[in-house]
Homo-oligomer: A and B are copies of this chain.
Amino acid sequence: MQKELDKRDLNVLSVLQNEARISNVQLAERVGLSPAACWERVKKLEARGYIRRYLGEIALEKLPGTINFMVLVTLKTHRADDFIKFETDIQKSAHVVRCVAVGGGFDYILEVVVAGMEAYKDFLSGFLERNGHIEKYSAHVVTKNVKSQSVDLNVLFADQI
């Protein structure tokens, strides 16, 4: 199995990234392959882990009463064990939709979705306060979704395409 992605692979990824429900026939046309060859490539990209999954972007703000907020978290202690414990807790919470570990000033950035003010308070007092590992946090309600798009692979790897 080859190690790198060629131009066509990047092309396939680039299309699927933005139009996950495109038919294989159309995708094949776009990248200049026969449907069968294209299908093989997609399956391989999936198998090799370049495509994690396909998801529908739901307009959560249209659902009544949802509150979206970001939380910056600093842990008390920074041993490997502390990180693991915190991250397992995060995985369990259905309200945390995203969590990245970051460098510089604090440790994690979370994105959280709840279904109302009550759930919002419950999350902060319940989940965060009860978690013994957290030194401090700051919660920031999302007031507007300014932008949410995929990386343009053609821009990102302009030199390789």
Interface residues on A, range: 35 or more
Contact B105 A56 (CB under 8 A): no
Contact B54 A103 (CB under 8 A): no
Residues of B within 8 A of A57 (CB): 51-55
- For residues 58 through 112 of chain A, which have their beta carbon under 8 Å from a beta carbon of chain B? 58-60, 62-63, 66, 68-70, 87, 90-91, 94-106, 108-109
The stretch among A10-18, A30-38, A128-136 that forms the contact with chain B is A10-18
Q: Is A140 positioned at the interface, with any CB of B under 8 Å from its CB?
A: yes
| Chain copies in the assembled complex | 2
CB distance from A63 to the nearest CB of B (A): 7
- Contact digits for A116-140, partner B, Cβ 8 Å, 1 yes 0 no: 0000000000000000000000111
Give the CA-CA distance A5 to B62 in the complex, in Å. 10
CB distance from A134 to the nearest CB of B (A): 15
Residues of B within 8 A of A150 (CB): 55, 58, 97
CB distance from A128 to the nearest CB of B (A): 15
Choose one: B54, B59, B108, B138; the contact of A56 (CB below 8 Å).
B54
Contact B54 A20 (CB under 8 A): yes
The answer to whether A151 and B60 touch (CB under 8 A), given A54-B20, A55-B18, A156-B115, is yes
